[in-house]
Structure 1
Amino acid sequence: MRVRLVAAALAVLMAASACSLGDSSSPSGDGGGDGGGGGVLDVAGPIPIENLDPHGAASMDAGTQVASRAIFSQLVISTGPGEFTGELAEKWTSNEDASEWTITLRQGVKYSDGSAVTAKDVVASFERVLAEAGPLAGNFEGYTVAAPAEDTVVFTAGAPDAAFLGKISSFFVTPATAGEDGFFDKPVGSGPFTVESFEPGQDLKLVPNPEYWDGAPTLDALVFRSIPEVSARMTALRTGEVDVTWTMPDDQITQLEADEAITVETVPGPGVFTMWFNSSTPSLTTPEVRRALRQAVDFDAIVKSLYPKTGTVADAPVSPAVFGYAAQEPVEHDPAAAKAALDAAGFDYDTVLRFQFSQPNFREFVQAVVSDLAEIGVRAEPLEKEQAVFLEDLLALKWDLNFQQLGSQGFDAATNLGRLYPCAAKRTGYCNPKLDELVAAAGATSDTAEREDLYAQATEIIWDDAVGMYAMFVEQPYAWRDTVQGFEPSAEATPYFTKVTVSGD
């Protein structure tokens, strides 16, 4: 078994007030060629692809993101903390205080229908993000956009924003006509692949885009398959029904390592097992109650039992791979103290906490948390929901505990702490004006040391007020068959497939 561990820690982000690329390249490197002849690659990610709209309610959903990276184009691509390469963007600069960012577009880029990608498309796409008011829009409060020339786009922030490049790395450009009835059933994009067929939550079949600016991929087809059950997904990989998968439980990793036909690779990433409390729920409004519930859960034991290979107990809301990480004092597991604190706070033990999650591979973790809470008399009901329902209920705050693996796009805390925790975000029912001031100030300065300090202060508030239970830092495991060549794991669990080929079909 070939096991390759990428263990090098990611570097600390260096925020730049001005940067450019004279010789930028896409994830496909030197280009894939004319397309075709590279086999059919079957992929089964951990989250079904329900939606191909990268601008709306599903814009930050992992399934939508991984599909969008194949179908559409980004302006810039984050390759690590403070590291970016251009796709549609050939060059970018900012003014002195990072309140205005100018993007120069790559020339000659076309959509799969042969039409040109223009600055007007970028403007229309960005304005659609703002109008849809989905999760991605939370990164761009107060922004405006304009196209002063055919190859130039100017983003103007309501305040200085040193984290702009990290935020915009999750933004995809579509034709100005995107959003018209039926467009995202079979969208036109400028990415390396184009859609042949799509059944939401089932299968997405892509074929090479002959118009892709860096050369069409050599794959004959790329097929994303939905296999929700982890055991079924692992069986599909072993039998060759699936060629690539990722986010496997640790016990499955051990089994895959014994298969000589499979490569396993684990990469450090920005993911954190995050369990928000809904602070607007009457029984969860006080930090004392939330802290007590967190103290009742033995995360050390749960992580060691379920994720000995890929998990480390978290000590902050964002991972060490992310700029803005600041370690906090670990919470000691003490059920007796937790029970006493709940009693003192007058907690109603007849309350049943709605504990929602969306992915089968999280069942054991959620159940372990439920079990620990039950030991002090707190009842929590696990509610496993389809991804679309989960997202809808998440935004509507129809839950008391919410489990997600959250990352930080662009490896910057601005896309996590700055996007999800301000009062205006309305994501957790928690509101703290002091926290708002800190994350706003962190996003408004390009002084790296000052940003780190401000995020450290914000992290301390989030941790001490127990806005959530931050259980585990995640290393991202991937597995692929030895018939696959050119596959590169992604720390963000949203890999590219432009350079991949598969043999022996």
Structure 2
Amino acid sequence: MTRYRAPRATRRTALAVLGAALSASLALTACSTTSGGSSGGGKEITVAGTYSIESLDPASPSGGGATGTQLTSKALFSRLVKPKADGSLEGDLATEWTPDGTATQWTFKLRSGVKFSDGSDVTADDVVASFQRFIDLKSTNAANFTGYTMTASSPTEVVLKATKPDAAIPYKLAVFFVMPKSVQGEDKEFFQHPVGSGPFKLEKFDSAGTVVFAPNSGYYGGEPKVTKVTIKKMPELAARLTALKTGEADLIWGIPDDQLPQLQSDSNLTVQTVPSTAVFTMWFNSSIPSLKDAAVRRALWQAVDFATIIKQLYPQTGTLSDAPVSPVTLGYSQQEAQKYDPAAAKAALQAAGFDFAKKLRLQFANAEFRQFNQAVVSDLAKIGVQVDLLEKEQAVFTKDLLALNWDINFQQLSNPTFDGANTLGRLYTCAAKRNGYCNPDLDKLLAAAGASPDKNERVRLYGEAGKIIWSDAVGMFPMAVKFAYAWNKNLTGVAPDPNGLPDFSTIGVSGS
């Protein structure tokens, strides 16, 4: 699943707006308490969200894979298993999960006594019906389970059967949420007042993108410590920062580097950056003649001084990537760094007969990535490579991405499953047709990695696959991303999430 942070203002504009807002509210900031943002006290918290929340249905074919939907789903619904911050798995509805000898069949034993927020029992039939709905609606994440089936082998056990050996099934289930079996199809009425077995219940969801959660007193893991969570949509950077400083918001994330020093100097705030599953990824369209040659793709990568770009734009939240996936992803294996050498890059392009007169099309979505891509275009221009930088609306970007209507494609690729099967295994096969690249040897490695029940063997095989992807320059992989969070110090139990999906059920409020 591809994830995008909300657009941010330019540095100069953001700083100017923030400075004016903070000056005007200095007296308020000095005397305010933040025991619940704008709620006025108690155990309520307010979150300034960066994501658009347009749907609460995690199986929706149109919005189920969206980051905002995944954020709310974690609060409202349960999963069979869920990833921890370090990428390891823990049980949610399932207490045990075991494969057969070939990893084509997985058995999940269910936790007893779990109830939905309306008081009804969560049963194996609910799990099976939710999985079938998930598959039938063909959401983005359902592509991980094409042809798979689930049955209830007993009232406390479900069995998931795959069409081929698949050792990554538990990790892939990180994006599968369970709801009552009565929910069928795109049940819009249900999601106005959803019933789930997660830590919270829905109190409000309006067209402005505001979501309000109340604790689910019957949650099997214990009732959350806060009495209310309000998520307010604030896509503008200056608005989020001002809300945090004045106490209107208690928690924000997705903070750009140029704003971090100011927040870090505020004794009322805690600021933390955490490694994420995200990697800046710039695929080449290998299906077009000018980019078909791996030597050309490697030369273009060699022509960009990513180390300097990252140091200038992302000194705290970016590090030079050394693999196609992040270090917290199962399947990560360090590769040999691509050396910046523009003279060698130009010579290699000339030797390969590269047409310098033809412009390449570099597409991206979201304004926050504009400056990074402008820097890439600038470096390529220094060796005579002409690039049209195309900033597209998200819907147009996605349509063109799938149609291969681009020459270079920029994405911030995240991996909510923490497993290489969801990125390497899903996006780089010949059948995927995501970037015009096809290598039967790579397909064999990816298939073997996905099938092996031995975790160490999977890591080894994904490492070999990553080496092919890296050395063939299927894309440029410039930066491993860290997510920056900031929160008022009276919050306790905040656990920054590597996918930008914080868990509100662990948060408490101390003091007044």
Shift of residue 243 of structure 1? 1.1
Paired position in structure 1 for 2:364: 356
Paired position in structure 1 for 2:478: 471
Shift of residue 205 of structure 1? 2.2
- From 130, 136, 156, the equivalent of 2:135 is 130
Local SS of the residue matching 1:264: strand
Local SS of the residue matching 1:474: strand
Alignment of 1:435-446 (within 5 A): 435-446=442-453
* Structure-1 separation of matches of 2:184 and 2:77: 12
Which one-letter code corresponds to 1:402 in the other structure? N
Shift of residue 392 of structure 1? 4.8
* Structure-2 separation of matches of 1:485 and 1:281: 53
Shift of residue 229 of structure 1? 2.6
Paired position in structure 2 for 1:231: 238
Alignment of 1:283-302 (within 5 A): 283-302=290-309
Which one-letter code corresponds to 1:129 in the other structure? F
- State, as a whole percentage, how many aligned pairs show the same letter: 51
TM-score normalised to the size of structure 1?
0.85
* Structure-2 separation of matches of 1:423 and 1:473: 25
Q: Does 1:152 align with 2:160?
A: no
RMSD of aligned alpha carbons: 2.6
Q: What residue ranges of structure 2 are gaps of 5+ in the alignment?
A: 1-40
Paired position in structure 2 for 1:18: none
* Structure-1 separation of matches of 2:52 and 2:175: 19
Which one-letter code corresponds to 2:386 in the other structure? V
* Structure-2 separation of matches of 1:498 and 1:390: 35
Structure with a larger share of its residues in helix: 2
Shift of residue 263 of structure 1? 0.2
- Flag the 1:362–1:354 CA change in 2: closer, same or farther, 3 A: closer
Larger Rg: 2
The answer to whether the Cα contact below 8 Å between 2:87 and 2:328 also exists between their aligned partners in 1 is: no
Q: Could you list the per-position Cα deviations for residues 290-326 of structure 1 after superposition, in whole angstroms to 9, with x for gaps in the alignment?
A: 3232222111001111111222101111122222212
Q: Could you list the per-position Cα deviations for residues 310-364 of structure 1 after superposition, in whole angstroms to 9, with x for gaps in the alignment?
A: 2210111112222221222211222333334444343363435141123x43232
Local SS of the residue matching 1:223: strand
Local SS of the residue matching 1:337: helix
Paired position in structure 2 for 1:12: none
- From 180, 184, 191, the equivalent of 2:186 is 180
The answer to whether the Cα contact below 8 Å between 1:194 and 1:208 also exists between their aligned partners in 2 is: yes
- Flag the 1:393–1:441 CA change in 2: closer, same or farther, 3 A: same
The answer to whether the Cα contact below 8 Å between 1:50 and 1:201 also exists between their aligned partners in 2 is: no
Which one-letter code corresponds to 2:354 in the other structure? G
* Structure-1 separation of matches of 2:97 and 2:446: 24
- Flag the 1:290–1:49 CA change in 2: closer, same or farther, 3 A: farther
- Flag the 1:453–1:81 CA change in 2: closer, same or farther, 3 A: same
The answer to whether the Cα contact below 8 Å between 2:115 and 2:122 also exists between their aligned partners in 1 is: yes
Q: Please say which of residues 152-161 and 449-458 is displaced more in the overlay.
A: 449-458
Paired position in structure 2 for 1:41: 45
Q: Could you list the per-position Cα deviations for residues 56-75 of structure 1 after superposition, in whole angstroms to 9, with x for gaps in the alignment?
A: 35444332222211111111
The answer to whether the Cα contact below 8 Å between 2:356 and 2:385 also exists between their aligned partners in 1 is: no
Shift of residue 417 of structure 1? 0.8
Local SS of the residue matching 1:114: coil
TM-score normalised to the size of structure 2?
0.84
Shift of residue 367 of structure 1? 2.3
Shift of residue 459 of structure 1? 0.6
Aligned residue-pair number: 467
- Flag the 1:413–1:349 CA change in 2: closer, same or farther, 3 A: same
Which one-letter code corresponds to 1:251 in the other structure? D
Which one-letter code corresponds to 1:276 in the other structure? W
- Flag the 1:487–1:281 CA change in 2: closer, same or farther, 3 A: same
Which one-letter code corresponds to 1:367 in the other structure? Q
Paired position in structure 1 for 2:223: 216
Shift of residue 398 of structure 1? 4.4
Q: Could you list the per-position Cα deviations for residues 138-174 of structure 1 after superposition, in whole angstroms to 9, with x for gaps in the alignment?
A: 3224422111222211011222222222221222112
* Structure-2 separation of matches of 1:187 and 1:401: 41
Q: What residue ranges of structure 1 are gaps of 5+ in the alignment?
A: 1-36
Q: Does 1:206 align with 2:213?
A: yes
Shift of residue 461 of structure 1? 1.6
The answer to whether the Cα contact below 8 Å between 1:57 and 1:132 also exists between their aligned partners in 2 is: no
Shift of residue 261 of structure 1? 0.9
- Flag the 1:80–1:239 CA change in 2: closer, same or farther, 3 A: closer
Paired position in structure 2 for 1:498: 505
- From 255, 260, 264, the equivalent of 1:257 is 264
Q: Could you list the per-position Cα deviations for residues 101-129 of structure 1 after superposition, in whole angstroms to 9, with x for gaps in the alignment?
A: 11111223222233332222222222233
- Flag the 1:232–1:294 CA change in 2: closer, same or farther, 3 A: farther
Which consecutive segments of 4 or more residues in structure 1 shift more than 6 A? none
Q: Please say which of residues 219-228 and 314-323 is displaced more in the overlay.
A: 219-228
- Flag the 1:389–1:63 CA change in 2: closer, same or farther, 3 A: farther
Q: Could you list the per-position Cα deviations for residues 6-29 of structure 1 after superposition, in whole angstroms to 9, with x for gaps in the alignment?
A: xxxxxxxxxxxxxxxxxxxxxxxx
Q: Could you list the per-position Cα deviations for residues 251-295 of structure 1 after superposition, in whole angstroms to 9, with x for gaps in the alignment?
A: 211111011111011222322122223334554444333323222
Which one-letter code corresponds to 1:110 in the other structure? K
The answer to whether the Cα contact below 8 Å between 2:137 and 2:185 also exists between their aligned partners in 1 is: no
